[in-house]
Amino acid sequence: MSTGMSRRAAKTALTLTTAGALGFGLMAPAASAANGPCYDGRCQGSVSAPKTIKVNSSKFGFGKLKITSISSRSVRMSAAGGALTGSTSPGGVVQFNNLKIWVKSVSGSKARLQLFPTRY
């Protein structure tokens, strides 16, 4: 009976963790709750603009990635207090230092993004 309870508790914890990540707008399997799901530079999900995504500043050279606008033709973003700016159409990639941001698609006012580091 205790084994069933442990499995149930583990499943509930996973559900709550996933729900929390989805509520943030982006999700990652090994996310740190204190820093957000994209802190390690590996996540994917849908966002609306404006959106600020917290990332590890010691790995990427900036701590906040800002999605500033989304249209059917482009997604605009900035980092490092505006020192790094870029935009791309759906299907394109923007790279800030060693973090790549892939705009997988745009639907209405939401963009589906995937972030991944180019190196550690």
Highest mean predicted confidence (pLDDT) among 27-31, 33-37, 56-60: 56-60
0.85 exceeded by pTM: no
- The pLDDT of residue 2 is 46
What gap in Å lies between CA 35 and CA 113, rounded to an integer? 18
What is the SS3 assignment for 34? coil
What gap in Å lies between CA 85 and CA 93, rounded to an integer? 13
- The pLDDT of residue 101 is 98
- The pLDDT of residue 35 is 84
What gap in Å lies between CA 35 and CA 115, rounded to an integer? 15
pLDDT in tens, 36-95: 899 999 999 999 999 999 999 999 999 999 999 999 999 999 999 999 999 999 999 999
